[in-house]
């Protein structure tokens, strides 16, 4: 019978016995299931919900530098887990930083059945959407886009028209072919958007994000487009929209998936009507996310008007930038 050698990987958690001892110390139970250590999750009440603890739900992979809790759905890097559980062996942490290289998506233990559309299919989709409109609807669609972002290449930003509940909308699709949301052109009962997907909106190839010096994140799709149109550094910047001000999860996913060994500067652009304390709290949380990386968080707001769609000139919120690096976003 032929003998098969197990494929070698750059990452092998079993080579760090001190980490296994740490996991055993922080959890009432430690099991080994296949290629995972299984512990009680430090993020949920996994360890205190029963008087007798016989197993945990947090799976820590031995050959992929991530963990996942089947009970509270928390996922992240091994470094995140060690940080939250106050692991203090600096030598081991520094060794891990040298070998942990991320191309792992959220919830890596779950099967991802979604398929990306090719760019050709996206272009066809947009063209077919336009063909569905009569002349009056098409005129309204283009006039609305012009009023929001001017006469630009709307296909570049993956915008398309769609009729939702007998109302004309602007659809937003990202580079990977996911329809993100629809913006109603005529607002009825204060309903402005219809969310379609939990994916993020971006119009650049996210697989190339490591080639960009700046990562620019804001809440609104039209704001993001305006920032791209009027940013002098757009060749060095990747633009992504965090729907519903979901900045923390957006940055976490970017760091875990692409930026862990990157030294990019992550710029968060707030609207002027966002409360000061809320802004400060968000930036503090984001700095914790990038604490073990070479990434830096910076925060901005429009200089004059309410949001960045109405005002292209930004000013930096100096009070919120806890990790200082010399950089000028506007130059």
- What are the angstrom distances between the C-alpha of 5 and each of 8, 10, 44, 45, 127? 9, 15, 38, 40, 51
Give the neighbor-by-neighbor strand order of the sheet with 58-61: 30-33, 36-39, 58-61, 66-69, 75-77
- Percentage of the chain surpassing pLDDT 90? 31
**Residue at token pair 């942990």:** 100
Instruction: In whole angstroms, give the CA distance from residue 183 to residue 130.
Output: 16
Rounded distance between C-alpha atoms, residue 83 and residue 25, angstroms: 15
Q: What does the alpha-carbon distance between residue 170 and residue 194 come to, in Å, rounded to a whole number? A: 10
Pairwise CA distance, residues 60 & 47, whole Å: 16
Per residue in 8-58, pLDDT (tens digit) is 446 789 999 999 999 999 888 898 888 889 998 888 766 666 656 677 888
Q: pTM for the complete prediction?
A: 0.63
* Residue 160: other Cβ atoms inside 10 A: 22
Domains of the chain, CATH where assigned? 13-99 (3.90.580), 119-195 (no CATH), 206-320 (3.40.1360.10)
E strands, the chain, in order: 30-33, 36-39, 58-61, 66-69, 75-77, 159-164, 167-173, 179-188, 191-195, 214-218, 237-241, 265-269, 296-302, 314-316
| pLDDT at position 187 over 80 | yes
Over 70: is that where the pLDDT of 89 sits?
A: yes
Q: Give 103's pLDDT tier (boundaries 50, 70, 90).
A: very low
**Backbone phi and psi for residue 193, each to the nearest 5 degrees, phi listed first:** -130, 150
CA separation for the pair 50, 110 (Å, rounded):
27
What stretch of H or E contains 147?
helix 135-149
In this structure, the chain runs to a length of 331
Enumerate long-range contacts of 188-196, CB under 8 Å, 24 or more apart.
194/164, 194/169, 195/243, 196/171
Q: Give the C-alpha distances (Å, rounded to integers) separating 194 from 84, 125, 233, 318.
A: 36, 19, 32, 35
Average per-residue pLDDT in the chain? 81
Mean pLDDT of 202-223: 91
What whole-number distance in Å separates Cα of residue 74 and Cα of residue 67? 8
The whole-angstrom separation of Cα 239 and Cα 202 is 6
Q: What is the pLDDT of residue 319?
A: 59
More confident residue, 315 or 217: 217
């Amino acid at each position: 019978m032929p003998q098969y050698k197990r494929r070698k990987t750059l990452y092998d958690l079993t080579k760090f016995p001190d980490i296994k001892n740490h996991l055993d110390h922080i959890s009432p139970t430690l099991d080994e299931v296949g290629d995972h250590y299984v512990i009680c999750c430090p993020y949920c009440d996994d360890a205190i919900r029963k008087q007798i603890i016989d197993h945990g739900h947090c799976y820590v992979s031995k050959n992929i530098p991530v963990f996942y809790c089947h009970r509270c759905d928390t996922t992240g890097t091994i470094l995140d887990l060690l940080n939250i559980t106050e692991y203090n062996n600096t030598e081991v942490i520094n060794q891990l930083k040298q070998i942990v290289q991320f191309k792992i998506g959220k919830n890596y233990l779950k099967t991802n059945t979604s398929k990306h559309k090719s760019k050709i299919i996206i272009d066809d989709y947009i063209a077919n959407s336009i063909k569905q409109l009569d002349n009056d609807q098409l005129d309204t669609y283009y006039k609305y886009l012009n009023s929001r972002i001017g006469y630009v290449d709307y296909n570049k930003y993956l915008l398309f028209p769609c009729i939702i509940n007998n109302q004309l909308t602007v659809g937003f699709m990202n580079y990977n072919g996911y329809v993100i949301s629809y913006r109603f052109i005529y607002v009825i009962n204060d309903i402005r958007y219809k969310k379609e997907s939990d994916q993020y909106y971006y119009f650049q190839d996210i697989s190339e994000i490591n080639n960009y010096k700046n990562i620019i994140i804001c809440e609104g799709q039209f704001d993001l487009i305006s920032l791209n149109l009027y940013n002098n550094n757009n060749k060095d910047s990747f633009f992504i929209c965090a729907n519903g001000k979901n900045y923390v999860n957006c940055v976490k996913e970017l760091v875990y998936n692409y930026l862990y060994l990157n030294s990019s500067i992550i710029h968060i652009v707030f609207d002027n009507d966002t409360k000061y304390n809320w802004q400060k709290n968000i930036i503090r949380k984001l700095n914790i996310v990038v604490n073990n990386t070479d990434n830096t968080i910076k925060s901005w707001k429009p200089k004059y008007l309410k949001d960045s769609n109405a005002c292209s000139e930004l000013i930096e919120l100096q009070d919120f930038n806890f990790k200082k690096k010399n950089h000028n976003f506007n130059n």
